[in-house]
Structure 1
Amino acid sequence: MNCIQIAGRLIGPDQPPYVIAELSANHNGRIETALQIVEEAKRAGADAVKLQTYKPDTITLDSDGEEFRIKGGLWDGRRLYDLYEEAHMPWDWHKFLFDHARKVGTTIFSSPFDSTAIDLLEDLNAPAYKIASFEAVDLPLIKYAAGTGKPMIISTGMADADEIQEAIDAAREGGCRELAILHCVSGYPAPADDYNLHTIGDMIDRFGLVTGLSDHTLDNTTAITSVALGASIIEKHFTLDRGGGGPDDSFSLEPAEMAALCAGAKTAWQALGKVDYGRKSSEQGNVKFRRSLYFIRDLKAGDVITRDCIRSVRPGFGLAPKNLEAVLGRKVTRDVRSSTAVLPELIDSWPPR
């Protein structure tokens, strides 16, 4: 499994998790809010901000038909067209947001939902593309994005293993050389017990790609846990105020929570480390508090050491307790006082042959 690179940042299992703050619809119709979200994502420690680039007319039809109306869930009863009209990021905002992200020193890219969105993002020199879960079956879109030669991340919510492979094949056929996939559950919000995080390890083995998590749960537990199972990327919706009333606010992280995610994910990755049974640097000072053998009676030179003469106690300056039986029955080489560590030079004919 190779690393990928977005705007100079290596992403893969040997690198700290790459955290993406998904701005989505959380601008709530105000470019000032969108610009502030970019700043707060940077301040919280996110590696990138991600937009969504579509218009209501490029993602659905302006229809009153029942199949174009949402039934159940967070947006129950709404027409798709009306929801996307409210939620979409106006295209003339994109340049301001890309310029602002570069000004504050953070990476910005987007999920395009049709070829015209990719054309716009290419004009802005987007460093990567993200394919949303609902578009993972749009193989022509994937191929078109792949044709830019930019790194690509594909979310796999609702996709089975065959559909994931088809999306990967389309990306490769289109020319994508740096590809990652995200395990995802396309519920808004999604319950943690739907995530089946062990799937991440299987995806890594099955597809051989940098793999991460697009997390729609309401806290950070699932996302941080995913790092221990191999996730190299974490994507979370991000807002200034969960009570802001926008379409995505209610299942998004606020700034303090995003900061906690960035810190927690990095700590989890650092804690994984490598297989290592050696003594750790933080343990060195405590070695002296291990148990060892100590004399608990005064002895004269030539006295035989019996069980009532020594004990295994803390600290650890004497012979290790595993030597107890070998010490018993031997003579001391000189006078010793109680509370003296049992050392090799105090034992006759040590070490035993």
Structure 2
Amino acid sequence: MSQTLAHIAGRPIGPGQPPYVVAEMSGNHNGDIQRALDLITAAAEAGADAVKIQTYTADTITLDHDGPGFRIQGGLWDGRRLHELYAEAHTPWDWHAPLFEQARRVGVTLFSSPFDFTAVDLLEDLGAPAYKIASFELVDLPLIRRCAATGRPLVMSTGMASEVEIAEAVEAARGAGAKDLIVLHCTSAYPAPMSSMNLATLADMAKRFGVMTGLSDHTLGTAASVAAVALGAVFIEKHFTLSRAAGGVDSAFSLEPAELADLVRSCRGAWEALGHIAYGPGEAEAGSASMRRSLYVSAPVRKGEAFSAANVRSVRPGQGLPPKHLDAVVGQRATRDIPFGEPLDWSMVEGGAPA
């Protein structure tokens, strides 16, 4: 099963469309609603298609417990208790309505990753135009079914997921009614090393699961996203902050506004450069074709004189015979006097063009 295009808030996404670029706010609001509002404005000004938030509370995503597994070991958040980290990073639910209003005001789409059924209920009440399943929730098939049952477009990240787990998630989504489905390749490391990206997976994923594919990119910089677009990704998601220096749970691997604008330009430029299969001179090359090499008289030739390497050369510009005819011309005789610098054509050659 395959699909042609998805639509989020009326914007078509898929083959033949510019890549859909999403700025992921995550916890980069740093607990300040004004900063969250400013992030939405900055993302719109940078040209992003959408801003994504996350809808959970510490209590809906984990337990307030300090037993085995409830404290992070290694990486960016080493030593943090899960409940403490999520309490800091979450987007308060009473912020959601003003965030959606701000997005409408500045002309950018806003949608969210819900982490439980109550989050879906809240987002439904607010008219969220799409849902995103985070990589860590891809194994939560009941949550996938709940999101898919809304009939809204569904985007799913696949960090850490096996082929079987991805197949189960896609089947759950489609079985519950998902039609506009996009699956994102992802490496769930923060930041993710370039060597871990394995972007060659994109084409295989599209073929294997019959879905449109994109990239949830946790690398530093924009190169992986641009490469993904060149490999057929139709959707790019990248974490976004106003300033890495200001700190925040995700700021270390997030783009600043000028970098997000560069990401948008570069991804759309990569998509535009893909074009279509084409051979021969294109419209943009029209002015260059006249500067190709061709055969010119490089020394005066008298009528009846033989052409030779001494009086015919392959040079620029391209107004004479193509250079491939040099061997056919050499040894033949001139039909008239030809001055230096004249482009050669078959009317000047006894016998004319070879049969």
Q: TM-score, normalised by structure 2?
A: 0.97
| Paired residue secondary structure (2:69) | helix
Show structure 1 runs of 5+ residues with no match.
Answer: none
Aligned to 1:276: 278
CA offset at residue 51 of structure 1? 0.5
Could you tell me how far 1:83 is from its partner in structure 2? 0.7
Further displaced range: 230-239 or 275-284: 275-284
CA distance in 2, matches of 1:75, 1:311: 70
Which residue of 162, 177, 195 maps to 1:175? 177
Cα distance in 2 for partners of 1:306, 1:55 equals 86
Which residue is equivalent to 1:93? 95
Deviation at 1:316, TM superposition (A): 1.0
Q: Secondary structure at the match of 1:154?
A: strand
Alignment partner of 1:322 out of 320, 324, 346: 324
Q: State how far apart, in whole Å, the 2-side matches of 1:262 and 1:173 are.
A: 34
Map residues 196-275 of structure 1 onto 2, 5 A cutoff. 196-275=198-277
Q: Tell me, in whole angstroms, the C-alpha distance in 1 between the residues paired with 2:302 and 2:187.
A: 75
CA contact (8 A) 2:281 2:289 kept: no
Q: For 2:197, give the aligned amino acid.
A: Y
> Take 1:107 and 1:56, find their aligned partners in 2: how far apart are those partners?
26
Structure 1 residue 52: Cα displacement: 0.1
Identify the residue that residue 40 of structure 2 maps to in structure 1: 38
- Tell me how far apart the structure 2 counterparts of residues 78 and 308 of structure 1 sit (CA, whole Å): 82
- Which residue number in structure 1 is paired with residue 160 of structure 2? 158
TM-score, normalised with respect to structure 1: 0.98
Cα deviation, residue 287, structure 1: 1.4
Matches within 5 A, 1:112-191: 112-191=114-193
Code of the residue aligned with 1:178 in structure 2: it is D
Alignment of 1:330-349 (within 5 A): 330-349=332-351
* Cα distance in structure 2, aligned partners of 1:74 and 1:302: 84
In 2, Cα distance between the equivalents of 1:158 and 1:247? 21
The residue identity in structure 1 corresponding to 2:279 is Y
Q: Return the match for 2:71 from 69, 72, 77.
A: 69
How far off its partner does 1:300 sit? 2.2
> Cα RMSD over matched residues?
1.0
Separation in structure 1 between the aligned mates of residue 248 and residue 315 of structure 2, nearest angstrom: 64
Separation of aligned partners in 1, 2:318 and 2:166: 57
**Deviates most, 107-116 or 267-276:** 267-276
Equivalent of 2:112 in 94, 110, 113:
110
SS of the residue corresponding to residue 288 of structure 2 reads helix
Identity of aligned residues (%): 57
**Alpha-carbon shift at residue 215 of structure 1 (Å):** 0.5
> Post-superposition shift, 1:282?
2.2
- Which letter maps to 1:263? R
Moved more, 74-83 or 232-241: 74-83
| CA distance in structure 2 between the partners assigned to 1:331 and 1:44 by the alignment | 67
For the pair 1:54 / 2:39, whether they are aligned, the reply is no
8 Å CA contact retained: 2:58, 2:86: yes
CA deviations over 1:37-88 (Å, ceiling 9, x no partner): 0000011111100000001111111112132111111111111111111110
Cα distance in 2 between the residues matched to 1:303 and 1:241: 77
Amino acid at match of 2:252: S
Instruction: Please give the secondary structure, in 1, of the residue aligned with 2:105.
Output: helix
AA of the residue aligned to 2:329 = V
Is the contact between residue 295 and residue 315 of structure 2 (CA under 8 Å) also seen in structure 1?
yes
- After TM superposition, the runs of 4+ consecutive aligned structure 1 residues lying more than 3 A away are none
Alpha-carbon distance, 1:128 to partner: 0.5
Output the amino acid matched with 2:221: D
Residue of 177, 192, 195 corresponding to 2:194: 192
User: Aligned partner of 1:338: which letter?
Assistant: F
Secondary structure of 2:246's counterpart equals coil
1:76 partner amino acid: D
